[in-house]
Each structure stands twice: as C-alpha cells, then as structure tokens.
Amino acid sequence: MFNELYRILYDHYGDLKWWPSSSDDETVIGCILTQNTSWKNVEKSIINLKNNGLLNLNAIKNMDAEILKKYIMPSGFYNQKAVYLKNIADAVIDSYGTLDNMKNRDIKNISNFLKNIKGVGQETLDSIMLYALNYPVFVVDAYTKRFLKRYYNQNFTFDMIQNYALNDLKKDISMLKNLHAMIVELSKTYCKSTPQCSECFLRTGCKYHNSIKNSDR
C-alpha cells in the first residue's frame, strides 16, 4: 500500500533530505520549537541560537531561562517552549550525556524515556525518535491523516498508519524520513485544507478527487 504511494511521491519529490538541520541537537530543538507554529518562525529562533553559539542541548541546559525565552520568541509560546527545551536538555544530559548515547538501544526504553518528559507529545516524540535518533518509527501528524483519508477514502487510526508505514517500507529509516517529508510538502502545496486537486500530480489515483469528478458528471 504505502510502498506504491512512496514510489509515486518519490518520482515527484525525490529525497527531501529531512530533517533540515546540521546536528541531532538542532533536530531535537527544532522538534520542540515547531510545535504549533510554522517552520519559518522556527528558523528565526534557530538562527538566534546559532548566532550566539547556543544551538545545542548543553547550552540550553545551562543558559538563563529568560535569555532562552528571548532567543526563541519568534517561535511563539516561548514561555512554555523554554520550559520544554530545558526539560528535554536536562533529561537527556542527566540520563545519557549525549543524544548519541541514546541511539541503538531498546526502542521501547528510549520511547518511554522521552514520553515521560513534559513537553514531548506523540508527534514530537516520533519526530525525535526518527530524525534525531534514527529509530524506525513513522511520524503521524494531522497532514498525514488528512491526506491518507482523501487519497484512499479510508479512515486510518494512528496504529494502522504506523503499521502500514513500518511494514510496507520494511523499517527503512531513510524512506520513513522521506515519506513524512513528502507528505508534509504535498499537504502544504496541493492537499491543503481546501485541496488543489486540479493541479495535483496524484489526482489520477486519488479516491477523493475521483469521487468529486464523478459526482460532477
């Protein structure tokens, strides 16, 4: 199911090379900052931290919370996000020292560890697991649910999407990373809240588009 979808999306998008970051620490910081805001706003905060040499978990752990709030202000909800960033920086450094030390371990243990950090919800957790720590999970966000419902004319649960993605892509980490990236890209350009079906390259195989087309006859 998803392997055929992957192929069609890949023919159009290729490798989008997600997550757009230069280190695992930056990925984790980005995963927290992107909650409830656009990536454009996150980028401004990332630049603020980078320009001051603070784009890593050690710096986040040790810096003054008020200064952190100032740097991440462009991402919105900065009081809350400063707490969340400090929570995850403290937890990772106190328990593992570095993100590298969290890789190649029992996936359930790492997932449970992250789940217990305040500020790490399901989507953030899966993004960190996949993009920063290279565990085979799939990120199921609102874009993914909306797109799959339209494309297959089927209501998928979170577990169904996870299972299809992991089985069909054979737990291939780079494919799991890229499938989510391609769905986000598609959802921002074509499969928006009002879908732009007439311009969409998926329209021939899309059940939603075909049902609209048939009802117009």
| CB 46, CB 30: distance < 8 Å | yes
Among candidate residues 58, 61, 24, 31, the one with its CA nearest the CA of residue 45: 31
Helix H or strand E encompassing 86: helix 78-96
Q: How far is the CB of 36 from ligand SF4 (least distance, A)?
A: 23
CA distances from 107 to 42, 78, 88, 152 (A): 28, 30, 18, 30
Report cis status (omega within 30 of 0) of the bond before 19. yes
Under rule CB under 6 A, residue 2 binds ligand SF4: no
Which residue, 68 or 186, is less far from ligand SF4 as judged by CB? Answer: 186
Q: Verify binding: residue 50, ligand SF4, rule CB under 6 A.
A: no
> Which residue number, 82 or 181, has a Cβ lying nearer to ligand SF4?
181
Closest separation in Å from C-beta 119 to ligand SF4: 32
Residue 81: closest CA among 92, 95, 70: 70
CB of 127 to ligand SF4, least distance (A): 23
Please give the size of the binding site for ligand SF4, defined by CB under 6 A. 14
Closest to ligand SF4 by CB, 157 or 196: 196
Could you tell me the CA-to-CA distances from 165 to 18, 98, 109 in Å, in that order? 17, 29, 21
Stretch that binds ligand SF4, among 37-45, 96-104, 176-184, 197-205 (CB under 6 A): 197-205
Closest to ligand SF4 by CB, 70 or 188: 188
Supply the minimum distance, in Å, between the C-beta of residue 170 and ligand SF4.
Answer: 24
One-letter amino acid at 79 equals N
3-state secondary structure of 167: helix
Q: Is 195 in the site for ligand SF4 (CB under 6 A)?
A: yes
Site residues, ligand SF4 (CB under 6 A):
147, 150-151, 190-191, 195-197, 200, 202-203, 206, 208-209
